[in-house]
A and B are shown apart, each in its own frame.
Chain A
Amino acid sequence: MTTEHILTTRGLTMRFGGVTAVDNVDFNLRDGELRCLLGPNGAGKSTFFKCLTGQLTPTEGKITFAGQDVTGALTHQIVNLGVGIKTQVPNVFDGISAYENVRLSARRKHLAPMARELTHTTLERCGITHLAKREVGLLSHGQRQLVELAMVLAGEPKLILLDEPAAGMTGDERDRLAQLVLESARSAAVVVVEHDMAFIRQIAKFVTVFNRGAIFREAMIDDIMQDREVQEIYLGKQANVAAA
């Protein structure tokens, strides 16, 4: 099982006082798979994500990455096992250039000349070479997202975890991001937590829908789009909001 699955959770539960944000989740991700996590606000996606990335220690349950138990491990330990993480709010170094940001990530595993090389290719891959010398704090939200993605990719992860990567992006930036995610999925497993349905349609194949802290459905994207109950809890709610 461990050879097939790069990431598994068993009975993963996260409680905050009386609130159970993640409730007994069994999640499996195959090596090289691209998976989208959907769900309405408060469904527990982000909490689940934070448990995976070591930002939260789960109340119960077990997380396994590449055959190793990483439950309760710290973020940097998880990252050093080969996980690339992009948080919901862009976490970048505002005071320095995009190039330096990416180089800091590349330098983690490589010596200086290799790191420079890798930084250049990664910036190019993300289509932000023209931003290399700009101070990251002065870039738009969408551009900062791309810088952060470049930082994640420069770490050459085996598993990429992306929390709402398309938030705040323009149409063009989103298209480029979709291409990037699809391209990255050829060399690594990818988990994307996302709200943006237009973006999801561009990249998703197999989808996990969260609701009230638990896995509500797991199916191909087309089936999910047809699913009446999913529409009710997620899309329907949006339609209702729109109608109201």
Chain B
Amino acid sequence: MEKPVTRDPGFYVMVAIGLAVMFIAPVMLDLFTIMQITQYVVLSVFALSLGYIWGFGGILSFGQAAFFGLGAYTFAVASINMGSTTIPMVLAFVIPTLFGAALGYFMFYGRLSDVYLGVVTLVVALIFWKLINHTAGPEYSIGSARLGGFNGIPSIPTLHVPGDPSAWLDPGQMFQVFMGFLLVIYVALRFLIASDFGRVSISIRENETRSSLLGYDVRKHKVIVFAIGGGIAGIAGAMWATYQAFIDPNSVSMEMSAKALVWVMAGGVGTLVGPIIGCILLQWLTLQLGTVDVVNSIAVLGAIMMVLVLALPKGIVPTARSLLLGGYILWKRNQGQAISGKVVKE
């Protein structure tokens, strides 16, 4: 009845696809396309962070961009000051995780209900955005890094080989490293979800009261899930900062938080592949629509979103999954009929 990750064929298929893309894409595709899809990879990590806490912890955060931005700014400030990118990458995970734990502590130990949780996360992201926007003057600098307010931080170092700051990664290598990040995070989350800890968080999502009646500390579990989600979003933010070599308050904006919600919703809450697919699909669509001048791309995207929610309320991946399963059962049945038909003939 319990299906370990290692016995799920879908898991291997996903990892194989990921590895194939990681190694084949830089050889097959031109530089511009590689840089484009690197963007999808970074944002997929961000989508995963929300997909995990929402789908497997029942925590709906309206301000996931707060962690994304925190990671991005942490990385920017630390890497400019240190002249290296290795430790800043670690810090971009650690600081958002700690911030998530602290924020989660107040929210979950304060027994906030779901609605207020949404409001608090949204407001925290808004405060971040406001705060960073107001750091334009030269007095707002941390070490040699000026926060730059709405102008953002330019010249963020490109990722380099750990220990050797002069060995920059070229775009193809950066793409491979980021694919590696995405794969590692995906695999780690799969195992985490299948572990006892993961099962308890799912049980909390399903029924909080019963979980506490079984003796599980609901508050503690939620804080941990929320903090892990924050840390993953932080890594995504750092990847974003080094990929663009630039970061501005847009990374903490409501639009960023809303995008993550839309990706997860479209792809399918309660899956990990869903948020990734939702992210890639909708980002690609946004890009395509951006080249058309006739209609406002955001309006079209909104319309597509509405159609998706109405037609596939469970999201793309769960719907595709049940369609495939249904098709397989039908096919099996037809096969059975064909065989029995033969028997009759003979």
Which residues of A come within 8 Å of B, CB atoms?
53, 55, 74-76, 79-80, 85, 87, 91-97, 99-100, 104-105, 107-108, 133, 151, 155
Closest Cβ of chain A to B202, distance in Å, is: 9
CA distance A91 to B209 in the complex (A): 7
- Counted as pairs of residues, one from A and one from B, with CB atoms less than 8 Å apart, the total is 54
Confirm or deny: B207 has a beta carbon within 8 angstroms of a beta carbon on chain A.
yes
- In the complex the two chains form, what is the Cα distance from A97 to B1 in whole Å? 9
Q: Could you tell me the distance in whole angstroms from the C-beta of B319 to the nearest C-beta in chain A?
A: 18
CB-nearest residue of chain A relative to B206?
A93
Q: Are B1 and A95 in contact (CB under 8 A)?
A: no
Report the separation of the CA atoms of residues A93 and B196 in the bound assembly, to the nearest whole angstrom: 16
Shortest CB-to-CB span from A66 to chain B, Å, is: 15
Excluding A76-B217, A104-B200, 13 further A-B contacts by CB distance (< 8 Å) are A55-B209, A75-B213, A76-B216, A79-B213, A79-B214, A87-B213, A92-B207, A100-B1, A100-B2, A104-B199, A104-B214, A133-B1, A151-B214
Task: Report A-chain residues with C-beta under 8 Å of the C-beta of B214.
Answer: 76, 79, 104-105, 108, 151, 155
**Taking the complex as formed, is B218 at the interface, i.e. its CB lies under 8 A from any CB of chain A?**
yes
Query: Which A residues are CB-close (under 8 A) to B199?
Result: 104
- Inter-chain contacts of B9 with A (CB < 8 A): none
Contacts A99-B1, A104-B199, A107-B196: A91 and B215 contacting too (C-beta < 8 A)? no
- Which A residues are CB-close (under 8 A) to B213? 53, 75-76, 79, 85, 87, 91
For A75, the closest partner residue in chain B by CB is B212
Chain A neighbourhood of B216, CB < 8 A: 76, 108
B333: CB under 8 A from chain A? no
Number of interface residues of B (CB under 8 A): 17
Specify which chain A residues have a CB less than 8 angstroms from the CB of B2 in the assembled complex: 100
- Residues of A near B210 (CB, < 8 A) are 91-93, 151
Q: Given A92-B207, A93-B206, answer yes or no on A74-B1 (Cβ-Cβ < 8 Å).
A: no
Cα A55 to Cα B111 in complex, Å, equals: 13
**Residues on the A chain within 8 Å of B203, using CB:** 93, 104
Minimum CB distance partner of B208 in chain A: A91
Q: Contact: B196 with A76, CB < 8 Å?
A: no
**Minimum C-beta distance from A26 to chain B (A):** 26
User: A91 CA to B204 CA in the complex, in Å?
Assistant: 12
Asked if A87 meets B206 with Cβ closer than 8 Å, knowing A79-B214, A80-B215, the reply is: no
Cβ of A216 to closest chain B Cβ, rounded Å: 29
Q: Give Cα A96–Cα B199 distance, bound, in whole angstroms.
A: 11
Tell me, rounded to whole Å, the shortest Cβ–Cβ distance linking A65 to chain B. 14
Measured CB to CB, the nearest residue on chain B to A90 is: B210
Among B1, B196, B200, B215, contact of A79 (Cβ-Cβ < 8 Å): B215
Shortest 4 CB-CB contacts between residues of A and residues of B: A79-B215, A91-B210, A75-B212, A76-B212
| B1 surroundings in chain A (CB, below 8 A) | 97, 99-100, 133
Contact of A76 (CB < 8 Å), options: B206, B207, B215: B215
Instruction: Give the CA-CA distance A81 to B294 in the complex, in Å.
Output: 67
CA distance A94 to B203 in the complex (A): 10
For window 82-126 of B, CB contacts with A under 8 Å fall at none
Chain B residues with Cβ below 8 Å from A55 are 209
Q: How far is the CB of B152 from chain A (nearest CB, A)?
A: 45
Find chain A residues with CB under 8 A from B215 CB: 76, 79-80, 108, 155
Q: How far is B246's CA from A205's CA once the two chains are assembled, in angstroms? A: 76
- Determine how close the nearest CB of chain A comes to the CB of B3; give it in whole angstroms: 11
CB distance from A92 to the nearest CB of B (A): 6
Residue of B nearest to A80 (CB): B215
Please name all residues of chain B whose beta carbon is closer than 8 Å to the beta carbon of A104 when the two chains form the complex. Answer: 199-200, 203, 214
Least CB distance from B196 to A in Å reads 7
11 CB < 8 A contacts A-B: A76-B215, A76-B216, A85-B213, A91-B209, A92-B207, A93-B206, A95-B206, A99-B1, A151-B210, A151-B214, A155-B215
Shortest beta-carbon distance, B93 to chain A, in Å?
A: 29
- B192: shortest Cβ distance to chain A, in Å? 17
> Which of B200, B212, B214 is most buried by chain A, counting CB atoms within 10 A of its CB?
B214
Is the beta-carbon distance between B209 and A87 smaller than 8 angstroms?
yes
B209 surroundings in chain A (CB, below 8 A): 55, 75, 87, 91
Which residue of chain B has its CB nearest to the CB of A148? B210
